[in-house]
Each structure stands twice: as structure tokens, then as C-alpha cells.
Amino acid sequence: MKANLFSSRIGGTAAVPPSKSAAHRAVLCAALAEGTSRIENIEYSQDIRATLGAVAQLGAKICEEPNAVSIQGRGAGNGFVTVTRPVFCNESGSTLRFLIPLFSLTAQKIHFTGAGRLFDRPQAVYQMLFDSQGLRFTQEPDGITVFGRLRPGGFKMPGDVSSQFISGLMFAAPLMESDSLIEVLPPYESRSYVDLTLDAMQQFGIKVAQRARKNGSVVYRIAAPQTYTASDVTIEGDYSQAAFLAVLGCVLGGVTVTGLNPESKQGDKVIMDILQRCGGKCKAVDGGLKFSRSLLKATEIDLADCPDLGPILFTLGCFCSGETILRNAGRLRIKESDRIAAMQSELEKMGARIQVDGDTVYIYGTALRAPERPLNGHNDHRIVMALAVAAAAGGLPATILGAEAVNKSWPAFWQVLQSLGERVEFEE
């Protein structure tokens, strides 16, 4: 689907969608719990639907409402059901990595399937973990097959890979036969995502002890067996999605964002600090944050703990005077697209000046121009949204191919942009 954007006057109030990261974790914990949990403020993006479908195969019973879901968990005493078909994860890395250790506990042969670039993403951490216990872990272009039940014990996990591996093992550990120790080795990147996992597990009755060692590693002790207990939760707003509206507001002014928890532990909350360092103006108003037109200046940003902000920070850099530097950007290459190459190639169609040196990106502030050719969304939700903000913030007409990619995480994105005044027309 094509989205044709036209230069429009932007302004107004918009609510951010619920945090996808928090929703994945709440759904998973609820599915493992004794009793029925109710999760409020949930958006049925493709990623969340993948997780809901997968936990149903573990025996959870799902009852969907427009903005909430009730989940009757399988419960620790009920055992696991027989998994009769492949587990479809779509393009959701969280779904796949969170569930591999859990499905291994069924002691059945499980085949995970997906779409897009899901199985281009590295899974070496799990490969080594399963190999070390003499279990089967086979990755092929069409999916991953595991066979054998993970056993408790001591686990050493690298801290400079996706935190999803650490979280996946944490979800499974309380259901094993005895205690486990998970040691995360330095450098510990994306720790905020593990903190979200711990918060979710605690809310569903699971206790995890943690301590730091002198060598810089962090050790988590997870007693087992423990029982997940049902809990009613409300999913907070998503800072990684709010970043798109916040950048738009700081460039053009007059945008108010609602639905954010100022006490959130989301790592992507750092967007507020980044914008402040760039000179972005923001003030708290009743029920939200109002972003005002700002004279933005370049800064240096470390993406090690906030890789999901990468695409919109490319856009932000274009509107900052000076040289914006994005460091530790390498993980952007193994997302739904190669986000470094994608953002560079598409923004350069708009006159952007971008240089890449290994895992460091340099963006030089310059006036963008209307692209002469359509922009390619690279089948990546964050690329599509970052390009849409670039066009809208620059007051530029543009065509974006693959506009439907936003359904992966924020199905209402285009409606929200239209509600702020952007004129958008669609073509199949």
C-alpha cells in the first residue's frame, strides 16, 4: 500500500499506543498463571497477536475485547498441552525469543515459523545454550526446531546481545525443577528491557533476587518451582512510539502527547533526555506533554540501550544544526530491515547528508527537499513511521511504499497522523 503525504499544517493532541514491550510480557505471564488475568489498554498489533496465538498453543484461553483481553492461564499444576502445529511468530523477535525456552519445557519437538527477516536474526545464544545441555536446536531459513527440556542450573549470558534472550530464560526458570542462576556478563546493554521483564514477573507473583559482582556482571537468582498468579494490569503508553510524535512536535510545535507514565522504566524514555539535550522544548500540561517548536542542535547519542529509537533519531538528526552522532548502532542492521542502510538510502532521497563508519552514524543537519522518487518503507514499521515524520516535519509531499508495515506495532499510526492535520491518501 502507498501512502501519499501532502504538506499540511500540523497541531493537536494525540494519545500514544500501549507499550508493546509491556504487553508482550503481561500476556506471557498471564498465560502461565493460575487463574484469569485481565489486561487493559492493549492494542492488537501483529506482534501482540503473534504472542497471543503462541500462548494459546501452550493452553491459555484468550477472550478478546476491543481494548482489553482476558487470559485464563494454563497454571503450574495443569501441565502443558500437546503442541500439534508449528508456532507462528510472524515477524516478532520478542515472541520467538521469549517463547523458545518456555516451549522447550513441554519436552516436545517444537517448530517455530515466522515471516519477513525473522530468521535472519541471530539466535546463537540459544544455540549454545541448547547445545550445552545436549538438546536439539536447529535453525533453517524457514524456522527453528527445538527438542528437549531445558534443565535448571547456572547460565552465563552475554550482555551485549539482545536482552530478549535473557528475558526468555527468566520467564522459563521459575517453572523448572530447581533454582537457577543467570549471570549477565558486561557490558550489559538494554538492561532496561530486562527490568521490564522483572517488573512483569513480580506483578504476577514471581520472585527474583539480583546482585552485582565486582567484575561488572549481574547475577539473577530465580527460585523454582514457583507459581505465576493471575493479576489485572493496565499497559502504560509506549515511549518508543511517542518518540515519533515528540520529534514532530519539537520541529513544528503545537503537538501534545498523552498516555505516558512519567515514572516508566522503559529504556526508550531516554528520548525525553535526548530531545532536551538537542534543545527541544516540552512542558507538562493537563494529561500530557506539549512539545513546542524548537531550535534543535546536534548531540551525540549512544544507541546501546535504545536501539528501537534508531530510525526516528536519523530523522531528528536531519533537523538539528551541526553533526549528530549515533554510536553503537550496529544492532539496527538485524531488525526487520537493515535500518542503517534503509534510513540512509531513503533520507538521502530527501537531500539528507549521512555518513556511516562501522557502527557509528554521522548525520549533518540540512534542509530536506521533496523526494523525486517514492520512499521505500523496507517492510519495516519504524522505517515507515520515521520517514512519515521526516516528510511531515519538513512540510514536504512524499510517497511511502509499504505503508501497511505500521500494523506490526501501531496500526492506528496513520489515523493519528491525520488527526494532527497531515493529509494522507492511500493507494493499493
User: C-alpha grid cell for residue 342?
Assistant: 534503509
The confidence score (pLDDT) of residue 8 equals 87
Superfamily of chain region 20-227: Enolpyruvate transferase domain (3.65.10.10)
- Asked if 65 contacts 40 with a C-beta cutoff of 8 angstroms, the reply is no
Domain boundaries, the chain: 2-16+237-427, 20-227
pLDDT digits 0-9 by tens, 40-96: 999 999 999 999 999 999 999 999 999 999 999 986 555 678 899 999 999 999 999
**Distance from C-alpha of 133 to C-alpha of 100, rounded to nearest angstrom:** 15
**Distance from C-alpha of 387 to C-alpha of 391, rounded to nearest angstrom:** 6
Question: What's the rounded mean pLDDT across residues 6-12?
Answer: 92
For residue 13, what pLDDT band results from cuts at 50, 70 and 90? very high
> Which of 47, 268, 308, 338 is labelled catalytic?
308
Question: What's the rounded mean pLDDT across residues 202-215?
Answer: 96
- Give 246's contacts (C-beta < 8 A, 6+ positions apart): 255, 257, 271, 272, 275, 280, 282, 289, 291
pLDDT at 409 over 90: yes
pLDDT at 24 over 60: yes
Question: What's the rounded mean pLDDT across residues 25-51?
Answer: 96
Q: Which of 6-10, 18-22, 166-170 has the lowest mean pLDDT?
A: 6-10
Q: Phi and psi (nearest 5°) for 310? A: -50, -55
Helices and strands, number each (H, E), in the chain:
12, 24
Question: What's the rounded mean pLDDT across residues 168-183?
Answer: 97
Question: What's the rounded mean pLDDT across residues 281-296?
Answer: 93
Structural class in CATH, domain 2-16+237-427: alpha beta
One fold for 2-16+237-427 and 20-227 = yes
For residue 405, what pLDDT band results from cuts at 50, 70 and 90? very high
The confidence score (pLDDT) of residue 80 equals 78
Cis status of the peptide bond prior to 122, with omega within 30 of 0: no
Q: DSSP label at 324? A: E
Question: What's the rounded mean pLDDT across residues 244-267?
Answer: 96
Q: Phi and psi (nearest 5°) for 390? A: -60, -45
Question: What's the rounded mean pLDDT across residues 340-350?
Answer: 98
**Catalytic status, residue 380:** no
- Asked if 111 contacts 87 with a C-beta cutoff of 8 angstroms, the reply is yes
pLDDT averaged over every residue in the chain: 95
pLDDT digits 0-9 by tens, 371-396: 999 999 999 999 999 999 999 999 99
User: C-alpha grid cell for residue 32?
Assistant: 502461565
Instruction: Output 29 or 190, whichever has higher pLDDT.
Output: 29
